Structure 1
Amino acid sequence: SDVVVLSSDNFAEFVKENPLALAEFYAPWCGHCKNLAPEYEKAATQLKENNIPIGKIDCTENQELCSSYGVQGYPTLKVFHGSLDNEKTTPYQGQRTAEDIVNFMIRQSAPAVLELKTIEDLENFKNKADVVAVGLWDEADAAINKTFYEAANLLKDSFYFAASTAKELFKEAGLASPPAVILFKTYDEGKSVFVNDASQWSADAISTFVQQESRPILGELSPTNFKSFIDSGNPLGYLFYDTAESRDAVVEQIYDIAKEFRDQISFVTLDGEQYGRHAKALNLKDTTFPAFVIQRISDGKTFPLLSEDGKSNGVVSSVTVRTLVKGVVDNTIQPFLKSEPEPESPYEENVRVLVGSTYESVVLDETKDVLVEYYAPWCGHCKNLAPKYVELAELYKDDDNVVIAKIDASNNDTPEQIQGFPTIKFFKANDKANPITFSDSREVEALARFIEAN
């Protein structure tokens, strides 16, 4: 194996002897670690040719070492730059494939900015990736040079950067006069240009430009680019399709809309046959594709394009998509509220049963203290809690000021962002904006103490 087996005995030597190295902190029982193993082996073999070693540390055998690097989950991959200082490490957050690991590490080994001297250099550099950034300026512009390098260092893990002061490259790049940053792309319009007064240049402005303009106007969503779309903070406009032909036909209709609103909504395509469950989670009604839905990243709320009666997916056209997009951008339409029908009886063994349509009227009642359990029917921990929660409700059934409630958060929308099941929150009377999350043991006594304490 080309993967170096590390332990507390040889770890320090491994890191200090190599100016660049990758280390995996793992546990033998970890399923994700087992899935990574063959890809990690391939990456190690390929990186050996570049003199970039990669190793692995069994955290069940080296607990103190793993703890010193803040390892809380497996696998954790960290890039070391010849120093044992954890502050100087770089977390690897890319895809767990040999190709992505190799590309990431080679990018780490390269200078943040490559110097271009000839047109041939420029053409070769443009072929390095689907998107590359090139800075062009006059040789005397020392401040511009410094700012560009700062931006490159911020994004070197994700993008390739190059720079030149060669005048023949200005003309080749179609630049009337420097300074400028040109983003060359193999998609959309082929390139984007950032030109600004030198005094207004900043590393953040260049960084923002590169990140925004590198996202396709209307491209396929993938594990590789998903994070960049999420980091933008823009709502995502999903076009789900069933065939390449249907996708291309709709893309032709809505491409100009995506281009017009690209600063406000990120438009992406996704295979509905493969990701039908995600389409359903976004509140599309069936698997009739193409279909379109917008999701706000800030709160997870969705705006599906539905038929007039709301029972099926709506027709995707330039007219219907523009209407939906304008409504979301102008904040003139309400997000979709997923809700089960109201139960015949609002109570189930003294527990108030909530659905999406009744949630706010009960939980946000300023006269009541309300304890809410967010659960999912398939959740084992929720099933274990159920009889205890009923017992708790029995304790408070005669207290008019306290409501013990529950909601199936997998089938009903709520304003709260629920990350796991069960989640229990307490909404205090006259202070509904600051719910308190329960974090003690899920026992009746602990839950009762929690209510009384708050």
Structure 2
Amino acid sequence: MKTFRVLPLIAFLLTASFPISIRADDSQAGEEETLKKTEGDESGTSEEIKDENGILVLDELNFDRALQENKMLLVEFYAPWCGHCQALAPEYEIAAELLKKESSDIQLAKVDVTKEKGLAAEFEIDSFPKLKFFIGGDRKNFVEFTGKRKAAGIVQWLKRRSGPSATVLNNISSTQEFVDANEIAVV
């Protein structure tokens, strides 16, 4: 008689636990699906490089691509709330426009370090704005910007770092153009 009492109890327990285990499997599958959908959507980043007024907008996913596609890249690491960054923004846009008009190989870019904390840590950004000049797609070797933070100062600093250290003057007219174009000229 004891077996007849235990048998219904075992049957009840088995059938009661079956739907619960199915529900647990379903919820795990739903969680995995949700994770897959959101993995590529992290903070709106993508390998696509956006351009705002001639300045590339970089993030962790497209930073390497920007370095590879641009022989010379000046990157501004900024915080949107920073007053100095806000003051630099219009000058930085003018500098980008001047470089574009000259058909320069130099490209300007910016990184919002409040969103891209990995890049901020990698490049040891401890103050804002911080500008770093990358040449030849090399992520490890860069030059800290030390020029004036006006459009003309940015362009002048970049030209000095990117161009030849001396200008070849073949004739009198090219010499006169060189002297007229520069505040200080040593011939």
Q: What TM-score, normalized by structure 2, do the two folds share?
A: 0.65
1:6 is aligned, of 49, 53, 58, to 58
Work out whether residues 72 and 137 of structure 2, in 8 Å CA contact, stay in contact via their aligned partners in 1: no
Q: What TM-score, normalized by structure 1, do the two folds share?
A: 0.28
2: CA distance between counterparts of 1:56 and 1:65? Answer: 11
1:106 is aligned, of 159, 172, 179, to 159
Work out whether residues 94 and 100 of structure 1, in 8 Å CA contact, stay in contact via their aligned partners in 2: yes
CA RMSD of aligned residues (A): 1.6
The reply on whether 1:57 has 2:111 as its aligned counterpart is yes
Work out whether residues 4 and 54 of structure 1, in 8 Å CA contact, stay in contact via their aligned partners in 2: yes
2: CA distance between counterparts of 1:85 and 1:57? Answer: 14
Q: How does 1:291-330 map to 2 (within 5 A)?
A: none
1: CA distance between counterparts of 2:66 and 2:135? Answer: 11
What's the secondary structure of 1:57's corresponding residue?
A: strand
1: CA distance between counterparts of 2:151 and 2:122? Answer: 27
Work out whether residues 26 and 75 of structure 1, in 8 Å CA contact, stay in contact via their aligned partners in 2: yes
2:79 aligns with 27
CA distances 1:145-199 after superposition (whole Å, capped 9, x unpaired): xxxxxxxxxxxxxxxxxxxxxxxxxxxxxxxxxxxxxxxxxxxxxxxxxxxxxxx
Work out whether residues 17 and 82 of structure 1, in 8 Å CA contact, stay in contact via their aligned partners in 2: no
1:130 aligns with 183
* Aligned residue-pair number: 133
1:184 aligns with none
Q: Which amino acid aligns with 2:56?
A: V
1: CA distance between counterparts of 2:97 and 2:168? Answer: 29
Work out whether residues 25 and 74 of structure 1, in 8 Å CA contact, stay in contact via their aligned partners in 2: yes
2: CA distance between counterparts of 1:55 and 1:85? Answer: 14
2: CA distance between counterparts of 1:82 and 1:69? Answer: 17
Which has more radius of gyration? Answer: 2
CA distances 1:328-369 after superposition (whole Å, capped 9, x unpaired): xxxxxxxxxxxxxxxxxxxxxxxxxxxxxxxxxxxxxxxxxx
2: CA distance between counterparts of 1:130 and 1:47? Answer: 20
The reply on whether 1:95 has 2:148 as its aligned counterpart is yes
1:252 aligns with none
Q: Which amino acid aligns with 1:69?
A: F
Work out whether residues 12 and 84 of structure 1, in 8 Å CA contact, stay in contact via their aligned partners in 2: no
Work out whether residues 95 and 155 of structure 2, in 8 Å CA contact, stay in contact via their aligned partners in 1: yes
The reply on whether 1:69 has 2:123 as its aligned counterpart is yes
Work out whether residues 77 and 92 of structure 1, in 8 Å CA contact, stay in contact via their aligned partners in 2: yes
How far apart are 1:45 and its partner, in Å? 1.6
CA distances 1:38-90 after superposition (whole Å, capped 9, x unpaired): 1111111221232421110011111121221222110001111023333x211
CA distances 1:378-435 after superposition (whole Å, capped 9, x unpaired): xxxxxxxxxxxxxxxxxxxxxxxxxxxxxxxxxxxxxxxxxxxxxxxxxxxxxxxxxx
1: CA distance between counterparts of 2:162 and 2:180? Answer: 19
2:16 aligns with none
Work out whether residues 77 and 120 of structure 2, in 8 Å CA contact, stay in contact via their aligned partners in 1: yes
2:171 is aligned, of 106, 114, 118, to 118
Q: How does 1:149-188 map to 2 (within 5 A)?
A: none
- Where do 5+ consecutive residues of structure 2 fail to align? 1-52
2: CA distance between counterparts of 1:16 and 1:132? Answer: 35
How far apart are 1:105 and its partner, in Å? 2.0
1:41 aligns with 93
2: CA distance between counterparts of 1:67 and 1:112? Answer: 33
Task: From the two aligned structures, give the one with the greater strand fraction.
Answer: 1
Change (3 A) 1:85 1:11: closer
How far apart are 1:131 and its partner, in Å? 1.0
- Where do 5+ consecutive residues of structure 1 fail to align? 135-454
Q: How does 1:334-413 map to 2 (within 5 A)?
A: none
How far apart are 1:94 and its partner, in Å? 1.3
Q: Which amino acid aligns with 1:93?
A: T
How far apart are 1:4 and its partner, in Å? 1.0
Work out whether residues 44 and 54 of structure 1, in 8 Å CA contact, stay in contact via their aligned partners in 2: yes
2: CA distance between counterparts of 1:132 and 1:34? Answer: 35
Work out whether residues 25 and 56 of structure 1, in 8 Å CA contact, stay in contact via their aligned partners in 2: yes
How far apart are 1:24 and its partner, in Å? 0.1
2: CA distance between counterparts of 1:84 and 1:73? Answer: 23
Task: From the two aligned structures, give the one with the greater helix fraction.
Answer: 2
Identity %: 37
1:17 aligns with 69
